[in-house]
Structure 1
Amino acid sequence: MQPGEAGGRAPIPSLAVAAVLLGCFIAGFHTRLFGIGLPDLRGAMGLDPDEGAWLSTVAMAPQMLVAPAIPWLVAVFGLRRMLIGPALVYAAVSLLIPLTRDYPTLLVLHALHGALLGAFVPAALMIIFRSLPMRFWTAGVAIYVLRAGFTLNAGVFLTGFYTQQLGWEWLYWQDVVLAPIMALLTWLGAPRVKVDRALLAKADWGGMILFGVGLTMVYVALDQGNRLDWLNSGVVVSLLVGGAVLFAGFLLNEAVVADPWASTRVLMSRNIALLLATSFCFTFVGTSNGLVLPNFLTVVRQLRPEQTGELLLLSVALPMVVLMPLALIVLKRVDARAVLMSGLASFALAAWLATGMTHDWAPGNFVAVALLQAFGQSFGFLALVLYGLANSDPAKATSFVAYIQIIRLLGTENGSSLLGTFVRVREQVHSNLIGLHLEAGDGAVAQALAGLSSMYASHGAAAAHGRALGTLAAMVQREAYTLAHIDAFRLAFWVAIVGMVLVACMGRAKPGPFTHRQIG
């Protein structure tokens, strides 16, 4: 029995690990459900497009504000204080949101919801290493890694199921059930610990505030950039400049304070610098594969989540459950750099295959692409995380994890925002280029209009001609969107190639529990 346990009950460390891993899945699923289900949420809550866009930003940005500091706060206050209360409050807020219709109240509730959600993921790896025997570390890391790709792809299916079968409210209410379970597991598994007052006395509050607020401003700018047209918007420019100034202040603060919270020295080794650059490439490619494919099926094929979700569930999410243990076995025998290279190569091949698509491609045509993406997510991401752990200094774990949050949240947002802008701009370019070949009076155009007009002949000559023009314009836009998505996959292909080049420049990791032949 450990001292300080209520009633003499000894904690069960594996339950604490189960709690933080469940928190990771809760965060991953809610982020995906909210993003895919936003059109349904807007309709149910009576929001216009601008209100819906700002609601999305307010719901997600607070994660960036709090997540980097969570590992340090857990080290100071303990897992019980940082997870049980927030999990119960999170469940209560999740219950209230679907019952609310006042927009300002919705914004406040979503901001609180996002801040609480930001507490669930960042400390997971630290708790795994503190609570499990070393031989189980890689298994815990594998489950942690699995949740990213699994929730990204299974979330589409789950969104369709909730909105069509149970009601849109369950996009929130599933967490009313899951969050208390996480709190219970934490109560049973985490020991009662005293506040580390020595560490608290050395708190670098200035660094945490500058880091969190600065990156949150950049996050908001990225999230709103595509909608507000980037540098043509004073709001976006102000957020980017303000975020950059605060982040520069954070770097200066870390250089002068006696006990920096997130020392930049953890980034000074060649392997770590290359790892972070590769992580941005990997995150971008993984995000593109998780977003471009379903976006094509939604925009071009006009399919709803329940129609596209089956492909992503059966061809990406579930195969990952099988591939992840295989990846662990391979990583026991093969250098993580080679496994990471194979994951990026799989992403590149998937993107290259997808460039051959046409507007007729249905979900069944993407099975091979999806399976390759599952391999890339499983083998590549696990190798990336294990290589990062093998090159990190355990004494500076809270600093290293703080920077990891930039990649986890800001890297993903950067990828989705840039891809959204890229697809939008390329669609405009292709629409213009196709339109240059559709000149009034051209024989082929006249023949096409005549054929389309005959389909609407019952509406009268004038109405039939107008409907024919509208149909032809829709066909042009459909082809333009198809070409734009092909361009997005081409971009993903080249980013994957850049990632492979960066991996080739990495050095061997120092011997330890996360290098091959010593894993497990």
Structure 2
Amino acid sequence: MKTPRLLEPAPNWSDAERPTLPGSPASIAHARSKRMQYFIIGLFITLVGGLSNGFITANLPQIQGEYGLTPSEAAWIPTVYVMANVSSNLILFKARQQYGLRLFSEIGLIFFIAVLILHLFVHSFGMVLFTRFISGFVAAPLSSLGMYYMMQAFQRAHLGKAIYLAFGFQQLGLPLAWIISPTLIEVNDWSNLYRFELGLALCCLAMVVALKLPRSLRVEVFEKKDFITFLLLATAFACFCIVLSQGPILWWLNTPWLAYLLIAGFALLLLGLAFEHYRLNPLIMTRWISTGSMLNFILGAIAIRFLMSEQSYATVNFLRSMGMGPDQFVPLYRIIFCGIALGTIFSALSFSRERMLLKLIFAEILILIACGLDYHLTRDVRPENFYLSQFLVGFAGGAFIGPLILTGMSKALSKGPHYVITFIVLFSATQNFGGLIGSSFFSTYQQYRSQDYRSQMLTDLNTTQEIVQLRIQQYQRLYQNYQADPQLQHSLALKKLNQDINQESQVRAFNDVIALNGLFALFLLLWGSSNIAWSKYQLYRSTQQTRSIAVNHSSTTLNPNSSTNHE
């Protein structure tokens, strides 16, 4: 690897102030009041970075109705966000190294504001997709910007706590969007939501301009081959996002073009990695990715985000299938918000490099307990029945993200600064694809089990049975007040019975989803615990061998002629 050329003279920093990496700000000893300002701005930017996607997730059914979209078309809205977000880190890390974080972030925010203003006047499905794509692209530098502002609020010795807080609080955007959306959105007037998002972006820009980050090192890092890698891998990631989002809706076996798209995605991914493998100055360190420790990290990061996706899929979709609306989700998401915030603060206050892996195990235990609490759902379950379990899942989400990123970042920094971009891309990909794979898998499994239960119940249902006749008569009496035709009453009663069967099959299928997620959590817990135990055992053996060699060397030094004397 060649050493990048400096684009401007470095300021006269002390060793404590010098940035860890080019593109990151210097660690200046600010006054207490200024540290507080940095923290507030960092917290605000961090929340805004997650709110944009949270608004879409929380209001997707309403947006679908507003624009008259099919479920497949509506699924494209969050998909394009993830497509842009997961690919942006391939190029943004080098962009801020070469052009500076401050300039790059300000230009990104200005462009996003311009798109939001245009969105206020152009109400179309294509404009929604374009806005979400830009939002996903801008969210990546915003997350880094929020982290760097928070890091300025802490002394260099406590930067680990700042990273814990920054990445933990990023997850607050989704529950916060659920909490405030019902008060923002009015019937037949969605402009309030877009105006609010525009106002947040303007506030971010004003804060970033008013209180700038300290300077960073600017180095020449871009190569023409970087853009070839970006095109190959970004297109591959886009193919995977489309397949995972559309598969459960259009159904995997009924849509041949999904298979072709999946093949194209894997082909482009392999081609991109092969191209990087033989580059002199690669963007992605393929040899490092293929090591055992990094493969374990990748699998673990995907798996734990996979487990966390049960909260966003099973809980919300179960309650929606039971007839719950957005207003009824607000108290539940307040609980989740508190869980994530407390988990993040707990993780930061108990920061210790020695306990990072133990916190990941702790998060898996909390998810396992939550699955046990949520099992045995019935049609009488309401949001308040999920308060304790979803608080635990939220706490686990806030507690695990900091240790996960710091574990990977320490591995990257130990290899050298060129490995950091590989880790950032890996971390973004594992978190985005882990959530997508989880939602796609659980949605597919839930639909399959629901149809299976429905078929079983219809097969076992005998309309001549006394209990079935009583239920039909009960439903007929419900319609007598406003329907005089007995045959139509009977038809409506059968329709109501069919709705009950559908709802019961949904309940049983969601129970299966929760049970399966619990099994995955148990397996991941055992796998993670065994890896930690094996690492401890190897460290113990290495220590014992070192001591044994030291003792033998010491005895030989003290008695150099012991063997001669014996002879």
TM range (shorter): 0.7 to 0.9
2:499 matches 1:464? no
Match of 1:476 among 498, 501, 518: 501
State the shift of 1:103 in Å. Answer: 3.7
Structure-2 change in CA distance of 1:238 and 1:130 (3 Å): farther
Structure-2 change in CA distance of 1:134 and 1:363 (3 Å): same
Match of 1:427 among 427, 431, 450: 450
Per the alignment, residue 411 of structure 1 pairs with: 434
Question: What is the letter of the counterpart of residue 431 of structure 2?
Answer: R
Per the alignment, residue 518 of structure 1 pairs with: none
2:528 matches 1:503? yes
Are 1:218 and 1:243, in contact at CA under 8 Å, matched by a contact in 2?
yes
State the shift of 1:257 in Å. Answer: 0.6
Match of 1:491 among 504, 511, 516: 516
Residue deviations 1:87-108 (CA, integer Å, cap 9, x gap): 1221222233243234444444
Where relative contact order (Cα < 8 A, 6+ residues apart) is larger, the structure is 1
Match of 1:447 among 470, 477, 485: 470
Alignment RMSD, CA only? 3.1
Are 2:341 and 2:395, in contact at CA under 8 Å, matched by a contact in 1?
no
Q: How far, CA to CA, are the matches of 2:337 and 2:458 in structure 1?
A: 40
State the shift of 1:37 in Å. Answer: 0.6
1:323-342 equivalence runs, <5 A: 323-332=343-352, 335-342=355-362
Question: What is the letter of the counterpart of residue 340 of structure 2?
Answer: M
1:110-509 equivalence runs, <5 A: 110-121=132-143, 133-164=155-186, 168-187=190-209, 188-191=211-214, 196-197=219-220, 199-201=221-223, 204-300=226-322, 302-313=323-334, 315-332=335-352, 335-393=355-413, 394-395=416-417, 396-458=419-481, 459=483, 460-504=485-529, 505-506=531-532, 507=535
Q: How far, CA to CA, are the matches of 2:121 and 2:450 in structure 1?
A: 39
For structure 2, the residue ranges without an aligned partner over 5 or more in a row are 1-8, 13-26, 540-567
Are 1:34 and 1:171, in contact at CA under 8 Å, matched by a contact in 2?
no
| Percent identity for Structure 1 against Structure 2 | 18
Structure-2 change in CA distance of 1:122 and 1:492 (3 Å): farther
Structure 1 length as normaliser, TM-score? 0.87
Question: 3-state SS of the aligned residue for 1:120?
Answer: helix
Q: How far, CA to CA, are the matches of 1:288 and 1:401 in structure 2?
A: 25
Answer with 1 or 2: which has the greater Rg: 2
Structure 2 length as normaliser, TM-score? 0.81
Structure-2 change in CA distance of 1:202 and 1:501 (3 Å): farther
Q: How far, CA to CA, are the matches of 1:170 and 1:2 in structure 2?
A: 46
State the shift of 1:447 in Å. Answer: 1.9
Question: 3-state SS of the aligned residue for 1:101?
Answer: coil
Q: How far, CA to CA, are the matches of 2:223 and 2:502 in structure 1?
A: 61
Deviates more, 1:100-109 or 1:413-422: 100-109
Structure-2 change in CA distance of 1:122 and 1:408 (3 Å): farther
Are 2:100 and 2:218, in contact at CA under 8 Å, matched by a contact in 1?
yes
Question: 3-state SS of the aligned residue for 2:463?
Answer: coil
Q: How far, CA to CA, are the matches of 2:127 and 2:343 in structure 1?
A: 43
For structure 1, the residue ranges without an aligned partner over 5 or more in a row are 5-9, 512-520
Are 1:17 and 1:131, in contact at CA under 8 Å, matched by a contact in 2?
yes
Question: 3-state SS of the aligned residue for 1:72?
Answer: helix
Structure-2 change in CA distance of 1:2 and 1:190 (3 Å): farther
Q: How far, CA to CA, are the matches of 1:113 and 1:186 in structure 2?
A: 18
